[in-house]
Structure 1
């Protein structure tokens, strides 16, 4: 279904034409006086016009009809999408959710991607262009003649169950579990599914996702630019009763139009949707001693105005070798000035039992967390031989410098909150021995 091209360099300029209309992209942005094939030129800007060249994001779309041709927007009722972070009293406790329920067609009828959106937690305000929201989607049918876009933020989609068949203004993408895609601010898209589907969405207000700097790692490692894919132009010229759904200031609005919004015959620019296969991530890890910070697993980051501080990082914990000597190998016990939402795409998380694919955990700012009791005891006594960690699994984390609040749906309505999560640390035993002989410590 999709026809993708390598981005070859994150943020580079691309030119794409539907092969049915070669030459659709003119040599200049909006000249000659009329575009080839009688198309309309339209610019989609993802940054201010005056941003430095290195951060200036825009694409020119050459389409059959301009996107301005639609009826006025009207409110679109949605019960579970919100940026009201004050409806539930703050809760600093460790939170865990069981797998989020996917309604079947027999249960409540057809639920598409938009209807299946639920906001779990977040912080900030899209009106002032700073902050983030964590959403969950659970759906059982395609969107049909309906398209969606966010005027609030950039969307990072993480499918957990079910393949997403995504049509965008730039072309088509097929995104499977263990892949991710980013659909940036203002880009219209429609999602089709082939059954019960579930996944996670990280929405970031006012910042773009980018690759983290590598520093001493050097030129290669983590997510390499060449492994990101962007669609090639693929237009449809179709008259129909189409609904455009806009997310604006945390609310949904809809407008009717008489044609498909996916009528872009050609485009060029550096502001595109893209996808990435998490199996392509080049893991960096400790090979002598100690446990490196989880920042070495960052795939994409959305930076704040403070150097080195992210509004949100997307981090994964893929299969990898563990080879450290004289080291407690699982993640260390931890209190963090960041908020950490974790989900599992497949398998289980090696440092804690009980977390399941399709669920999640939230460890809020400065709330302690770490390995459960069983993990600590086993890792403290295991033989220090090389072994594969997290084989057949894929866990991820949305980490943010903002203190995230839980929505009413996340706290009550979804009915999958694990009230016994704290019990995983209850069996931890005291091992303190004031008579311990320092000579028993391994020699450096």
Structure 2
């Protein structure tokens, strides 16, 4: 794929229309599905929500294609190794968990494409009832040839860590580099090409689609801006080739065959599309007078549950920024959370654990499992001069946070051979500094005598 073939329309959640310039006028002018489509095309609707969903949340696109996507042989079960939503056969583990960088297949031992290199790390819920999520790791060294895939279970949020992905979708082409993300929504067929060994993370959500978080008191400008989300321009190929269609369905993998390219959409219009986003465009907000701002101020995308303010999954990043703080501990505080937190590192060193947490690896802190800075970070930050300074330059860490209690698959707990058995030791150096005979002056801590504090409750 030539780089100049990748063009984008800007926007997020809006209605778009796109035609391949080789077939101008391929989109009907007066109605969605005329008796006969221009150029002898077939009209096919792809619905991402129920037909009767409210207008503000209704998602669908019309595809005008050379052949309907129904033209294939029956799907048959296949063994895709460790790509399966099976986290009930392994005993739960409440410990702090960390993985060394996940292994990339050695090209000398054979070609492994994106679909073959998928492994399910952990998850919760059930795709059959459309309730839950899963986290996958991909690691590959070759392109998908005459092959595409899609998920009937949910949306794929793809976070490349190493290697550029060139993704061909039914809607057009996208190039996704490390420090960018893309979302391939439920049911959209895609194929991945690579020119180098590649590795990254995938968050799959079953319930709903990702949206931008509400800004509330932040106001109109902040976090991720809608105009920076980019949607591909229509592009098609008309090829009669034997092609394999891989379908993730109810947590299992299936494949079918068809005698033509699945990427034969000449034009499309609608608001249900794949899209990409450059993490460098995130507008950071972070000036702290006391305590430490919750990581929710770094939310890029969210998939909300039916309970207001409670996410099925949030995608949160920790980008380079100015850290401006006074009278407080600068790094993340020690914490126990009613949410599950999976963290990955795209590049650089994460401030709270600069050594053990490495690019291409991950951590999981489950519900109410205590975590926070390691002992070295604590000592350094406790004695630091709290002047304004740049932090996280050259670094991009992220978090998949969920209200679901995540459980590991056998691959995540054992087969991957990447579990760091000594992770717990990073906190063993924390020691007591308590001395009741060496009381700090209250002015130094910004407090006042408890007896002088007026008590009240809301």
Question: Secondary structure of 1:441's partner?
Answer: helix
Q: Map of 1:213-362 to 2, 5 A cutoff?
A: 213-353=214-354, 354-362=356-364
Matched residue, 2:6: 3
Question: Secondary structure of 1:186's partner?
Answer: coil
CA contact (8 A) 1:342 1:396 kept: yes
CA contact (8 A) 2:286 2:324 kept: no
Cα distance in 2, alignment partners of residues 443 and 16 from structure 1: 59
Shift of 1:292: 0.4
CA contact (8 A) 1:4 1:229 kept: no
Question: Secondary structure of 1:55's partner?
Answer: coil
Matched residue, 1:139: 140
Shift of 1:3: 2.9
CA contact (8 A) 2:327 2:446 kept: no
Cα distance in 2, alignment partners of residues 31 and 179 from structure 1: 35
Matched residue, 1:13: 15
Shift of 1:5: 2.5
Matched residue, 1:127: 128
Cα distance in 1, alignment partners of residues 373 and 58 from structure 2: 43
Question: Secondary structure of 1:54's partner?
Answer: coil
The 1:31/1:339 distance shift into structure 2, 3 A limit, reads closer
Matched, 1:441 2:444: yes
Question: Secondary structure of 1:279's partner?
Answer: helix
The 1:319/1:32 distance shift into structure 2, 3 A limit, reads same
Shift of 1:290: 2.7
After superposition, the C-alpha distances for 1:95-136 in whole angstroms (9 at most, x for unaligned) are: 0000000012212x0100010000000000000001000000
Cα distance in 1, alignment partners of residues 30 and 96 from structure 2: 55
After superposition, the C-alpha distances for 1:300-319 in whole angstroms (9 at most, x for unaligned) are: 00011111100100000000
CA contact (8 A) 1:29 1:60 kept: no
Q: Output the aligned Cα RMSD.
A: 1.1
CA contact (8 A) 1:152 1:249 kept: yes
Question: Secondary structure of 2:424's partner?
Answer: helix
Matched residue, 2:195: 194
Shift of 1:408: 0.3
Matched residue, 2:451: none
Q: Map of 1:93-112 to 2, 5 A cutoff?
A: 93-107=95-109, 109-112=110-113
Runs of 4+ in 1 over 4 A off after TM superposition: none
Shift of 1:437: 3.8
Shift of 1:272: 0.1
The 1:443/1:76 distance shift into structure 2, 3 A limit, reads closer
CA contact (8 A) 2:20 2:233 kept: yes
TM-score, normalising length: structure 1: 0.98
Question: Secondary structure of 2:108's partner?
Answer: helix
Q: Which moved more, 1:67-76 or 1:329-338?
A: 67-76
Shift of 1:286: 2.1
Cα distance in 1, alignment partners of residues 143 and 237 from structure 2: 18
Residue-pair matches, total: 442
Question: Secondary structure of 2:8's partner?
Answer: strand
The 1:290/1:183 distance shift into structure 2, 3 A limit, reads same
After superposition, the C-alpha distances for 1:138-191 in whole angstroms (9 at most, x for unaligned) are: 000000100000000000000000000000000000000000000000000000
Question: Secondary structure of 2:119's partner?
Answer: strand
- Any stretches of 5+ residues in structure 1 without a counterpart? none
Q: Which moved more, 1:289-298 or 1:258-267?
A: 289-298
Which of the residues 22, 25, 28 maps onto 1:23?
A: 25
Cα distance in 2, alignment partners of residues 111 and 439 from structure 1: 62
Q: Which moved more, 1:37-46 or 1:430-439?
A: 430-439
Shift of 1:75: 1.1
Q: Map of 1:84-99 to 2, 5 A cutoff?
A: 84-99=86-101
Cα distance in 1, alignment partners of residues 251 and 414 from structure 2: 20
After superposition, the C-alpha distances for 1:52-109 in whole angstroms (9 at most, x for unaligned) are: 00000000000000000111111121120121221110100000000000012212x0
Matched residue, 1:207: 208
Matched residue, 1:181: 182
Which of the residues 359, 378, 381 maps onto 1:379?
A: 381
